[in-house]
């Protein structure tokens, strides 16, 4: 089986489970458990556990829009404590739109899909996990989002951003978003771009 960073796995011979946070060699990977410790293990000694990454409120029906239609408020957020090891990556939708989300990373000049989802209005979804100790090796995320609503609204273009999270980004103070249970490092994806230049890559938090 082809494992990737962020996969939720269980040890075959021990009562341990966690997320893959590094590849240490061809057949040894690092698995970070709930305590935040990264444990090296042979790739033959783990099995995948499916269905771990879920919305906080996982419902099929879109949220009912009550009151003012909110057009702005789409964020990428990172939660977790650096000393505990595990970082969690979220898309937070404070708008009245439904979002069709596609997230990928660049590899050898091509794109590899990491995550896709339909996210309802006023909802969040977790799309990736990684170890804080490997922040310098975190993916450069290519995020594409289509905004949709059956309600009357201003036409919105497709959002497309390449986001790089540097270690220095995590020195900034965390922000409270109402839809997340804890403070997070946050960057807003749907702010108006006033400067158009050659640099397409957006640093996290900028």
Mean per-residue pLDDT, 115-134: 93
Fold annotation for 74-190+199-203: Immunoglobulin-like (2.60.40)
Q: What is the mean pLDDT of the chain?
A: 83
* pLDDT above 70: residue 172: yes
Residues in the chain: 206
Higher-scoring residue by pLDDT: 162, 65: 162
Domains of the chain: which residue ranges?
A: 8-48, 74-190+199-203
The 10 Å CB-count burial string (b at 16+, else e) for 15-42 is eebbbbbbeeeeeebbbbeeebebeebe
**What confidence score (pLDDT) does residue 203 get?**
64
* pLDDT above 60: residue 61: no
C-alpha span between 170 and 99 (Å, rounded)? 27
Q: Where are the beta strands (DSSP E) in the chain?
A: 8-11, 17-23, 28-32, 38-42, 46-48, 74-79, 86-93, 98-107, 110-119, 123-131, 141-148, 159-164, 185-188, 201-203
The 10 Å CB-count burial string (b at 16+, else e) for 84-110 is ebbbbbbbbbbbbbbbebbbbbeeeee
User: pTM for the whole thing?
Assistant: 0.68
């Amino acid at each position: 089986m082809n494992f990737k960073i962020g996969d939720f796995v269980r040890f075959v011979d021990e009562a341990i489970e966690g997320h893959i946070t590094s590849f240490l060699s061809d057949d040894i990977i690092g698995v970070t458990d709930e305590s935040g410790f990264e444990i090296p293990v042979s790739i033959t000694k783990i099995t995948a556990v499916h269905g771990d990454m879920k919305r906080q409120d996982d419902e099929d029906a879109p949220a009912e829009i009550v009151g003012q239609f909110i057009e702005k408020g789409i964020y990428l957020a990172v939660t977790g404590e650096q000393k505990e090891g595990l970082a969690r990556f979220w898309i937070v939708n404070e708008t009245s739109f439904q979002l069709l989300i596609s997230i990928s990373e660049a590899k050898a000049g091509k794109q590899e899909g990491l995550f896709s989802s339909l996210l309802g209005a006023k909802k969040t979804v977790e799309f990736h996990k990684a170890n804080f100790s490997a922040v310098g090796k975190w993916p450069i995320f290519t995020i594409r989002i289509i905004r949709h609503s059956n309600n009357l609204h201003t036409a919105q273009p497709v959002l497309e951003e390449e986001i790089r999270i540097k270690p220095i980004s995590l020195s900034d103070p965390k922000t409270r978003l109402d839809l997340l249970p804890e403070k997070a490092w946050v960057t807003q994806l749907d702010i108006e771009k006033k400067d158009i230049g050659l640099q397409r890559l957006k640093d996290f938090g900028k």
